[in-house]
Amino acid sequence: MSLSRRKFTKEFKLAAVRRLETGASLAEVARACEVNPNVLHRWRREFRDGVEHAFPGLGKKKADDNRVAELERKIGQQTLEIDFLQRVLQRVEEARMLQALNGTAPSTNKSTKKSKRKRP
């Protein structure tokens, strides 16, 4: 059985670091958050290096992944549309070539005769 690596949100990390900054002991916060004290040291160092750049990992990645997936779906849809339109254009060009070879004008109107049915 393999253990998966735990992932913590930016909010969780910030809350843990704030508890350290307010004077709680490292061991106390480590037990409460169920993380290794070395992890808390790293989080505190990242926080002190720059609050706005601290913990970029999980915060924006999900939104980026969603955007990429949305754009990939859009590309797929447009690819299908382009393929369809290319096939239609090919058929139209083939029909024009046949008409040019036969010397006939393209027919745009349907039959205008109305069928006269005798009613019993």
Q: For 31-71, what is each residue's pLDDT tens digit?
A: 999 999 999 998 888 888 876 667 766 555 666 778 888 99
Q: Calculate what percentage of the chain has a pLDDT beyond 90.
A: 40
pLDDT recorded at residue 113? 58
Q: What is the mean pLDDT of the chain?
A: 82
pTM here is 0.44
Tell me the pLDDT tens digit for each residue of 68-85.
889 999 999 999 999 999
Name the nearest CA neighbour of 13 among 54, 50, 52: 54
Around Cβ 40, how many Cβ atoms within 10 Å?
Answer: 20
pLDDT recorded at residue 119? 60
**At which residue do the structure tokens 């900054």 appear?**
21
Question: Computed over its alpha carbons, how large is the radius of gyration of the chain?
Answer: 34
Answer yes or no: are the C-beta atoms of 58 and 9 closer than 8 Å.
Answer: yes
- CA gap 33, 37 in Å, rounded: 10
Domain ranges (residues) in the chain: 7-55, 60-102
